[in-house]
Structure 1
């Protein structure tokens, strides 16, 4: 029986809006000074993580999902359902929106749409996100987009470290410059750009917009999701519920000491935002540190977590 954490090698993505904070904050070896994304836990075909330890060392998470489903509580589905990223926005991301599952399958021939959520790790003073819009009908939304009424249309929110946002499919959104977030999302890479600030690439070309599909999938009117960030303290762990919804449940863990033994029938995803510690299972002691990403498989009957650290943990609700 597989009785240890599965540690994953991050995948990095260069982006027009990326920077160097992934190296500065997490000491990652990034490919360039425009590195926008660390895919920390991914089985997606555009970047499946390699396993760093244990019997499956050298295999990818996608291969583990296909061939060792017992590690994932025999969950159904052809693809690993979640994707966990850390993003560094040196510049503004495009204003965008994502489809739901039904639209993704019908129009894109993809398994999943994209519902996501953001935990703000750090940001510059005065940093903002775009979250939602002010149109009251599809017709008004189309008119305001056509007329370029971006200041009237888009809803801007100032952010600070520790903020959390749940972003269901159909929500117009953008991460502003100077923000680093951890994003937990469905395993999808479908993005429809609504507005890109008329930016051009190195060849002087504007990036493609997807206005028809954006209008198809955008929720109108926009409604802010209600979140109640409840927390509990047990032994050395303060657990804060961030969101529990159809696709995933996400918690923030503040670790200061040693937990009681944890038993859980499902598999759990962990990303270490700060600090260090150990996971202890029946097979041994496994250290973790800032920037690590790992999975506790369903085959681990019991474990303890110990140290001083800040972590985001999640699991699938499929």
Structure 2
């Protein structure tokens, strides 16, 4: 089968905290949903598998393509490691209100409880309203007893690390880190293929029927990393026209490429697929058999067998480039 860089049909998710930035900033029409809080752009999650939108493979599911093309699509070592489940999930998140305070289990706990992978993730802030903030980790030394005392007294946020953020900020969130995205943020998220979230506190919100969302207070206790860290924001070089490594972990590596000129990428040394998430500008991706236009908010999956691509631009662009090393 002749593989090529793939775009997928966007999967829209209605959320109680969603807004309109998916439509207003990323120009994705989520009608008739009243509020779109998330889009899933590349997904191998069994309940929401992405479907190819471009080229001769249009209409084919990512799961079916992976079963047939295996290492040719995601890399030989990746296929040996992950099998027929695509290993990364790419989302955009529009927080028109604060998301719940939550935590995700690691691989060991997720396998034990859910027969699933854990959830390590990263956030890239595309847009931030003035004063918008998020929570990542603890603001002081905490143990299980201190955490429970604050939680039971209704003062959990007193010990959480709240940071005001701006466009371009990156946060890496290993499984176990307590967190939430605050009101007024548009985020690109790259994560392990997992949809397991332990919701700790949801600000006593109710849905249209007056029901509160389920909490997972007890389950979260075994998942939380109670360690305090001096810094939670990811520091990275913001030099233009160079490939900058921002995040590297066993589950994915993400580069930031901020360019005002054409750029060539050689992936021949990688035994991995590559994902482009366009967070600013636009470009045309040229590959040996063709080309594809990429706009802000577009996500591409470049198969492991595609070794060299050219990014041609008249506007400049910024992309998140992710793969599994």
Alignment TM class, shorter chain as reference: over 0.9
Residue 309 of structure 1 corresponds to: 317
Provide the residue aligned with 1:7 in structure 2. Answer: 7
Q: Give structure 1 regions of 4+ aligned residues with deviation exceeding 6 angstroms.
A: none
- Listed as ranges, the matches of 1:73-222 within 5 Å are 73-74=75-76, 75=78, 76=80, 77=82, 78-110=84-116, 112-133=117-138, 134=140, 136-222=142-228
Change (3 A) 1:251 1:261: closer
State the partner residue of 1:43: 44
Which runs of 5 or more structure 2 residues have no equivalent in the other structure? Answer: none
Aligned-partner Cα distance in 2 for 1:207–1:129: 21
Q: What is the CA distance between 1:263 and its match in structure 2?
A: 3.3
SS at match of 2:279: strand
**1 CA distance for matches of 2:51 and 2:296?**
18
Deviation at 1:12, TM superposition (A): 0.8
After TM superposition, the score normalised by the length of structure 2 is 0.91
Shift of 1:135: 5.1
TM-score norm. by structure 1 comes to 0.93
| Change over 3 Å in CA distance of 1:261–1:115 after alignment to 2 | closer
Contact 1:129 1:158 in 2 (8 A): yes
C-alpha distance in 2, partners of 1:258/1:182? 24
Q: Residues 42-92 of structure 1, C-alpha deviation per residue, up to 9 Å, x if partnerless?
A: 111232211112332211112212221111113222311111101000010
- Contact in 2 for aligned 1:255/1:306 (Cα 8 Å): no
- Rounded Cα–Cα distance in structure 1 between residues aligned with 2:201 and 2:300: 35
Please identify which structure carries the higher strand content. 1
Matched, 1:254 2:258: yes
Distance 2:323 2:214 in 1: 34
Residue range with higher mean Cα deviation, 174-183 or 212-221: 212-221
Q: Residue by residue, what CA displacement relative to the aligned partner does 1:67-126 show, whole Å, maximum 9, x if unpaired?
A: 21111113222311111101000010000000000000001121x110111000001100
Q: CA deviation at 1:193?
A: 0.8
Q: Secondary structure at the match of 1:117?
A: strand
CA distance in 2, matches of 1:209, 1:141: 16
Query: Residues 200 and 226 of structure 1: is their aligned pair in 2 closer, same or farther, counting only changes over 3 Å?
Result: closer
The CA deviation at 1:232 is 6.3
Paired position in structure 2 for 1:23: 23
Aligned residues: 313
CA deviation map 1:149-187 (0-9, x unaligned): 124222211111111100111111000001000011001
Alpha-carbon distance between aligned partners in 1 of 2:274 and 2:107, rounded to the nearest angstrom: 23
- Secondary structure at the aligned position of 2:56 is classed as coil
Q: 1:309 Cα shift?
A: 1.4
RMSD (CA atoms): 1.7
TM-superposition CA deviations, 1:14-41 (whole Å, max 9, x none): 1010011100011101132310001111
Deviations 1:184-208 (A, max 9, x none): 1001100101111111112222111
2:177 and 2:224 in contact (8 A); partners too:
yes
Counterpart of 2:55 in 1: which secondary structure? coil
